[in-house]
Structures are given as structure tokens and as C-alpha cells.
Amino acid sequence: MPSLIDIRRRIRAVKSTQQITKAMKMVAASKLRRSQERIFNARPYAREMQRVLSGLAARVDPSAHPLLDRRESLVSAAGSRTLVIVVSADKGLCGSFNTNIIKAASGLIVSSEGRPIVLGLVGRKGRDFFRRRGLEIAYEQVGLFQALKYADAQQIARAAIDEFISMRVNRVQLVYNEFKSAIQQRVTIEDLLPVPRTAVTDAGSGSRIDYLYEPAPQEIFNRLLPRYVETQVYRALLESNAAFFAAQMTAMDTATKNATEMISQLTLYMNKVRQAAITREIIEVVSGAGAL
């Protein structure tokens, strides 16, 4: 049976941990509010841009721009390569946030059916995990979530575009945690390149709608398509950042409640031990007095 000193020392340690988890919960909640505002402001623009360009890509010849090139024969070939951009967190203490991302990316690699996978790793946790597995890594970036900027998304998008245009990869996918609510995050796998195509038809005639371009289509594509890739990457980073703070807040709230419960159990156990010690001392006194 542990002594009272050991139990009191353990209670003090749990209380110290509880103070830390409570402070981390408050910090995560504060950062979550700012992250929510950023993602709610970015979502409408990113989704509308995706809708417009997906419909536009369905109406033009895929050879009009390299980022529209489907390369369907190459994608189905065994020798084609896919760039998978995995967005994880730089820190832990966020429940299953990083575990779910790593599991989804690992499942994607396993189900690639012999097609080579090259990774673009964003976040220290994913970088540390996949680096130990000996997988091919095209690029990695850590520490950007401390002060997330649009320039960070531009750098990642530029690297993905260079890999795709240079024919080193034939497909680019994003794996990240989408922010749904403070208690729910969903792992999402999206096709980034080539630009997804959405068939759009006229509801009345069933014929495809066509556009008149001003200026030339090539100039429009040169401006809009790289901006589209940057916007989608930036949205994924904002989603992941907000989801991380939500997961951390939930995890720290659960840890604080567990610490409170543990303190109650240890306090009850300490009182039992102390009462047993007092009872034993009384018995010894009474027994000694009876012997005299």
C-alpha cells in the first residue's frame, strides 16, 4: 500500500497536469475561433472557383492547357506516378487527428495497385512518420501553421504544378482533415490535378453550353488555373488548421475531465488510507493500555 506522501505527490502531479490541459484547451478554443472565421471566409470563393473551372474544363479540349491534360492512358498504366500531398499537424495532443490522416494516406498508398506514389508532406507529424518508412518524398514543409499565409499555399501549389507539368507525375491528390464542427473532423481525399471536369448541359435542350472567351482562352487558363490550384491548397490548409484546433480543444477538454475524475479517486483513496492509519494507531493505543 502506498504511503500518504506518495498519494499526495501523485495528486499534486495530476493537478499540475490538469492546469496545463485546461490552459491548452482555452488557447485552442481561442485559436479555433480565428481559424473558423478564416475558413468560413475562404470556403465560398474556393468552392465557387472550383465549380466554375470544373465546368469550364469540361467544355474545352484537355490539350488547351497542361493542367487540364487528363493523361487517362498514363493514369491507368502501371508505371504512372501519383503525387499525394498529405496535410498533417506539426504538434500532437490532438486526439486521433494525425492518426486518421496517416491512416488514410497509408490506405491510399496500399490501394494504389502497383502505381508508384510520391509524397508531398506538409506538417511535422506526417513527415516524421513517412520518412521512417522509406517512401519517396518529393518535398516537405513544416512549421507553416504557426503563421499560415497564402504564400505558403502558393509554394506548395507551385511545387505540385511543376511536378505535373514536367510529367514526373500524372496525378496530384490532396489528403487533409476537413473541418465540420468543433467536435467533428472528416478526412478528405481530393483530386487536385488535372483540374476535375464537371459535365454541364443546358436543361432545356440537353446540349453542351459553350463560352466566348475574351481575351484568348490560353491567356485565361494561364492566369486562372494556377490561381485555382493555389486556392484549393490554401483552403485545405485552412481546413486542416481549424480541424487541428478543434481536435486539440476536444482532446484537452477530455483530458481535463479525466484529471478531475482521477483527483477525486485519489483523494478518496488517500482518505481511506489515512483513516486506516488512524484506526490502526487507536487500536495500538487501546491494546497497549489494556496490556498495562
157 catalytic? Reply is no
Reduce the secondary structure of 189-209 to three states and give it as a string: EEEEECCCCCCCECCCCCCEC
Q: How many CB atoms lie within 10 A of CB 220?
A: 16
Distance of CA 48 to the CA centre of its chain: 23
DSSP state for residue 113 in the 8-state scheme: T
**C-alpha–C-alpha distance, residues 77 and 252, integer Å:** 46
Greatest CA separation for the chain: 114
The C-alpha atoms of residue 89 and residue 276 are separated, in whole angstroms, by 49
Grid cell listed for 175: 489528403
Give the three-state DSSP class for 86.
strand
The strand order across the sheet containing 137-141 reads: 137-141, 117-122, 82-87, 171-181, 184-193
Active-site pick, 14, 32, 85, 94: 94
Catalytic residues, by residue number, are 94
